Amino acid sequence: MAIAALGADKPGLVSDITHFIFDYGCDIEDSRMIAMSGEFALIIQVSGVWNAVAKLESSLPVLENRLGLKLMSKRLSLRQKNTELLPYEIDVVALDHPGIVYHLANFFSERKINIEELSTSCYSAAHTGAPMFSVHMEVGIPGDIQLAELKDAFLDFCDNLNLDAAIEPIK
């Protein structure tokens, strides 16, 4: 089951949520948690025997009320790993401007390459204070795509948008 949470950030949220999951005999398989501008966001995948997951799911309104978070859950089916996909990571840095994530996502979407994970951040350049933007992505590249051609096309694409980028296999 996947659980998503959103609400005001405060100390102890991660402890409270993970303790709740533990109390129902479930295990955390995968998770992403972040605090942004005073808000807390989480998506977490839990597993367990069917009745433990069902009890956890039915008890989420209690946790939602106790912590003042908005919670959503969704049952998941087992996903078969696609061994035909090559895992790659992409790192991009540029002067901050609107549309960077859209253009990157569109580049990969047009080539039927799935973005598995994406994170971004803004910061000030060390010496100049210029507003900078960084993107880290993990993608699954289908085995029938010519990697050299993809890399060349991606780097040309980034040059045209004045993005500094690297694309490397995940080891």
Q: Quick check: is 99 in a domain?
A: yes
Look up residue 163 and give its two tokens.
């993005």
Q: Are 11 and 54 found together in one domain?
A: yes
Q: How many beta carbons lie within 10 A of that of residue 16, not counting itself?
A: 15
Model pTM greater than 0.85? no
Q: Give pLDDT, residue 78.
A: 74
Find the domain containing 157 and state its range.
85-169
Judge if 100 and 68 occupy the same domain: no
Residue 79 located in a structural domain = no
> Which two three-digit tokens encode residue 72?
């959503």
Contacts of 153 (CB under 8 A, 6+ apart): none
The residue count of the chain comes to 171
168, β-bridge pairs: 89
> CATH number for the domain including 17?
3.30.70.260
Which sign does the torsion angle of CA 122, 124, 130, 127 carry?
A: negative
pLDDT score of 80: 67
Do residues 94 and 18 share a domain? no
The predicted-structure confidence for 19-61, as pLDDT tens digits, reads as follows 999 999 999 999 999 999 999 999 999 999 999 999 999 999 9
Number of C-beta neighbours around residue 137 at 10 A: 21
Does residue 159 share a domain with residue 140?
Answer: yes
In a domain, 55, yes or no: yes
Q: What is the reported pLDDT for 84?
A: 86
| Last residue in a domain, options 52, 74, 96 | 74
- The whole-number pLDDT of residue 81 equals 65
Predicted local distance difference test score (pLDDT) of residue 77: 86
Q: Which 3 state secondary structure label does DSSP give 150?
A: helix
Judge if 24 and 89 occupy the same domain.
no
Residues of the chain where predicted confidence (pLDDT) is lower than 50: none
Same domain? 164 vs 100: yes
